[in-house]
Amino acid sequence: MDEYKRSAFRRRAEQVIFDTVRRVLSQQRASEHVKKVQDRYPSLPPDALADILIRHAVRKTIVSGATSGVVVTALETLVAVPVPEASHKVASALAALGTASADLSYTTGVQMQLVLDVAHLYNAPYDADDEGDVWIILKAALGIKGTAKAGSLGRFIFTEAARKQFRRLLRTHGLRRGLQQFVARVAGPRVARYLAEKYLLRLIWVANIGIGAVFNRYVTSAVGKWAKVRAKTRASLFQQIDALKGQIDEPASLVLPLIYWVGTADDRLTDNVLTLYAQAAKRFGLTEDSEKRIATLIADRDDLYEVLTERLRAVSNKEARRLLFETAVTTAAVDLDDKDDYHRCLEDLSKVLDVRYSRKDLQQAIEHLSA
């Protein structure tokens, strides 16, 4: 298959994934689920309500896992006789695989809707009609946390020089396309491994029911926890951006370079940082020309840090300086990793912006996102 055909096939595959995911998601259901728990527990904070939504989703997938376990056990029983018919073997194997696949399809749908629900709860909803948001939802539902180096899978991005590779991505592909390619590389192997783990475990046929339920409980709980992190990160970032819009002119020209600089402070590039940058750019509602102009500034200026710090020092509004620094802290916390590199970067920026900072601020931001 030549390169053109491979590219066309990949684009078609990505479009099929996008269309399939979009059909599963429902904004109306998300609003209804959130309203239901808010009405029932009006005094509980968002974190507690999010845990309730997660428990509801876990219960659904536990039932699905146990039910498919019953079916697979029954099918395996058919071939447990001393000399089973060959046709019984084939039929049972195909039916068992179909049952496991149906369970995977159902549970993944529940998990994607959970990601949507939790985001609504934190007033940072995803747009199910936006291609970038759909990929984020799919990644979260597949348990792709994005904290590993983005180049560790297929070496899509070479992380030895994170800032250089971030710039190359801005110049050649654009972040949205780059993120889609990253997910396309990961999604297939992740689904295959998930199904293989689930199906191979069920070779222990006596334990099918318990294994199906426990496996779904574990996976859905993990997805729910990561959905909370994603939603709280989005909520924090969006609040900071919206507040900055009323404080200074063209805040995007400061925020986007700031995310780039802080997010690559440890000289590695993660999917979380790329996603945060893309979400910020989208939240500003930039025109294509404006987004390209800022991307060019980041990609082409070797003295970007000097230019950025000079612009930051020129911000006279004290509240704007505080908000800009909060954005930097959110970026440093996005991987839930309290690293010395992030701390030193924030310490330098605190002096530039003339705001107070201690390592405890970064630790508290991480605790807030992971609570």
pLDDT digits (tens, 9 = 90+) for 312-344: 999 999 999 999 999 999 999 999 989 999 999
Q: How many CA atoms lie within 13 A of 19 on its CB side?
A: 6
User: At a CB cut-off of 8 Å and minimum separation 6, what does 155 contact?
Assistant: none
The string of pLDDT tens digits covering residues 33-70 is: 999 999 999 999 999 999 999 999 888 877 664 454 44
pLDDT at 130 over 90: no
Domain ranges of the chain: 3-165+173-231, 235-370
Q: Report, as an integer, the average pLDDT of 109-123.
A: 90
pLDDT tier, 213 (very low <50, low <70, confident <90, very high otherwise): low
pLDDT at 110 over 50: yes
Question: What per-residue confidence (pLDDT) applies to 152?
Answer: 39
User: At a CB cut-off of 8 Å and minimum separation 6, what does 112 contact?
Assistant: 21, 24, 25, 137, 138, 140, 141
pLDDT at 204 over 60: no
- Strand pairing partners for 329? none
pLDDT tier, 236 (very low <50, low <70, confident <90, very high otherwise): very high
Question: What per-residue confidence (pLDDT) applies to 83?
Answer: 41
The string of pLDDT tens digits covering residues 283-311 is: 998 888 888 888 888 888 888 999 999 99
More confident residue, 241 or 6: 241
Closest CA to 369 of 220, 273, 221, 235: 235
What would the two tokens of residue 112 be? 């994607």
pLDDT tier, 119 (very low <50, low <70, confident <90, very high otherwise): very high
Q: What is the mean pLDDT of the chain?
A: 76
Question: What per-residue confidence (pLDDT) applies to 15?
Answer: 65
d(CA 267, CA 150): 12
Closest CA to 14 of 95, 135, 105, 191: 135
Question: What per-residue confidence (pLDDT) applies to 38?
Answer: 95
pLDDT at 359 over 90: yes
